[in-house]
Amino acid sequence: MNGRTRSRLVVLHVLVAALLLVLAGRMWVLMVVNGEHYRTVAAENRTRDIVVPAVRGSILDVEGRPLVRNRTALVVSVDLTVLGRLPDRGKSVVAELAKVLGTTPEDLQQRTRLCSPTVPRPCWPGSPYQPIPVDDRVTAKEGLQILERQEEFPGVIAQVQAVREHPEPDGASAAQTLGYLQPITQEEMDQREGLRVTGFAGVDLIGRDGLEATYDADLRGSPGVRKVNVDARGRVTGIAGEQAPVPGSHLVTSMDAGVQAAVENAIAEQVDKVKKAGGKPAAAGVVLEVNTGRVVALASYPTYDPSIWTGGISQEEYDALLGKKRGEPLISRAISGQFPPGSTFKISSVAAAVNDGNSLRGTYDCPGSFMVGDRAFQNFEGQGHGPMSLHTALVVSCDTIFYKFAYDAWLKDGSTKPVKNPKDPMVGMARKFGFGTRTGVDLPGESPGRIPDRTWKKDYWAATKTENCKRAKTGYPEVSSPTRAAYLSAIAKENCLEGFVWRAGDAANFSVGQGDVLVTPLQLARAYAAIANGGTLVTPHVGTALVRPDGTVVRRIEPKPAGKLPVDGKTITYIRKALAEVTTQGTAAGAFGGFPMDKVHIAGKTGTAEVYGYDDTAWFASFAPAEKPEYAVVVMVTDAGTGGAFAAPAVRKIYEAIYGLGGVKASLPDGHLPTSLPEVAP
């Protein structure tokens, strides 16, 4: 062996030794440094995690009656990831499953396709990596056919689980307030760290609206995990460990099912009346506890059946919920609808006028019309009442007195050339009453309403100037009435040239809740509650407490008061006494004829708001008993007529239901809401 060969052998030996050292080092890292990690991985290859759904908590009324609860159902789901690995991508499995479930393959394919802006319902709005529920009303016979022939149904799961249902105690629906559930999306799963999903309703459905959305985290609970041992074929051979799910808490609300049903029935009756007269109404009703802000009832029309979300929803049903053709029933008019309040707004205007220096005990003339600048602003039907007190002005709803208050204040502020920092007393007082801002109710989608002022007027003019200037030139040829077309053209020309100016007419309309003023029914109920309780602006809330299934109270829900009205106590008392006569001698006397005021005296105010292109919006805002108020009740009906004819009768029926008057069974036998929490059955 020559030297060259020996050198090559030495190099080879060195390389082999180096490789052995590297191998030994790698084995040391695997076995010593990372040994625990790989032992865990090896164990996981023999186990599988199964997420165990938690039962979602119920939503209860103030007496503990379930407004939303769970029912046990056998649910069939399809796993697209499994079907996608089959030779025919699962078509034969879907066809066989359709036979078992008594439907068509096309229907199942629609239910399992993924939703997108171009895909109509039914479709799956959740994650594509979850099993997709296709039927939640499966019979035991159908379920057994799937379970006993599992080899014929790869990717098909039949499992008993909880499904949401709405029992409607006493006929109370409260659909918009309770809300609904929908599958969680992939984006939401990505955003929620640590969220475990299974594809089953108990875990993967989340609240999309109403109380279901606000208290979703509390209602959903925490899913458990079951570790099972599996063999090489993936068959379960035993349970390695289990972490039990934690069921969701029950939400106890301040709503009373009997009162809720009464409100829904009362507004539905008035809506039917308006429909028979050719109108296309919407309506809302609110019952609020004046001292605490607890919401006793919240109703909106048109409404819908919340069970429509269970088991998938068709495109036609979905369009009906969102479309204007059927009145957008998904929207809660009580908290999201914004409407001109008409004369119900005068409680704020009286307080503003008195704070601005007008005598609370003074006498004021109530002519049939009042000149605001160069325009005559009229009372309802042009009727004059002569000299009167502010008390009588509220009782008979005199508009011209308020026009003068507003006009005089506008002149003091410099008219069209305002002084620096104008007072605008009525605008400021309206904001103090809570108008123009959200009440803070524990429901999503609340609207702020609108309190127009000089800044808003400028912003609105900038946004509409182009259209107004165009209409000033072209007019309104599509309007059939020449008089109406000429009026609209004149308004367009005026707005084009000086629409940014806060004019006398703006101030006058504001004082009687017309013009650009918009409020929600809940805002108005809160304002009347503040008058009723002596000046405290409450924060409305529906949730009262969260309670574990074993009855343990997790937490009580107690919102803080929103503030105090900047109104003297004598003024508040004066307004309350005036409102108490509206139902006996004023604009609502006809609606309350024969009502037992000696038992429960109702105080309130009618409102009749003009809306272009429709009949008047009818309002009645109230509180009772007048001497020691407990509840504020507000009803609003659009495209109807006067508040005394269309809203006040509904409010009367609600009070009859609350107190058990007029031959009606009392929803609140002693007239009070319970102050203690109901017992929650395990």
For 507, the enclosing helix (H) or strand (E) is: helix 504-511
Neighbouring residues of 359: CB distance < 8 A, sequence distance ≥ 6: none
Q: Which residue reads 């503040």 in tokens? A: 530
pLDDT of residue 20: 81
**For residue 682, pLDDT beyond 70:** no
**For residue 77, pLDDT beyond 60:** yes
Q: Pick the closest to residue 433 from 626, 607, 562 (CA basis).
A: 562
Neighbouring residues of 21: CB distance < 8 A, sequence distance ≥ 6: none
Question: What is the C-alpha R_g of the chain?
Answer: 33
* Amino acid symbol at 620: F
* Amino acid symbol at 143: G
Phi, psi (degrees; rounded to nearest 5) at 422: -60, 150
Q: How far is CA 416 from CA 500, 621, 654, in A?
A: 10, 34, 46
Neighbouring residues of 300: CB distance < 8 A, sequence distance ≥ 6: 176, 282, 283, 284, 329, 331, 332, 333, 334, 337
What is the rounded CA–CA span in Å between residue 102 and residue 95?
A: 11
- Helix, strand, coil percentages, rounded to 5, for the chain: 40, 20, 40
Residue 270 and residue 640 in contact, taking contact as beta carbons nearer than 8 Å: yes
User: Which of 29-33, 262-266, 268-272, 633-637 is predicted with the least confidence, judged by mean pLDDT?
Assistant: 29-33
pLDDT band (50, 70, 90) for residue 107: confident
Q: Token pair for residue 452?
A: 């127009």
Question: Between 491 and 64, whose confidence is greater?
Answer: 64
Domains of the chain: 48-253 (3.90.1310.10), 254-303+329-453+502-682 (3.40.710.10)
Neighbouring residues of 381: CB distance < 8 A, sequence distance ≥ 6: none
Beta strand extents in 354-457 (DSSP E only): 363-366, 369-372, 375-378, 386-389
**For residue 22, pLDDT beyond 90:** no
Q: Which residue reads 């599996």 in tokens? A: 230
**For residue 621, pLDDT beyond 80:** yes
The pTM (predicted TM-score) of the whole model is 0.84
Average pLDDT over all residues of the chain: 88
Q: What is the DSSP letter of 344?
A: G
The tens digit of pLDDT for each residue in 458-509 reads: 999 999 999 999 999 999 999 888 888 888 898 899 889 888 999 999 999 9
**For residue 613, pLDDT beyond 90:** no
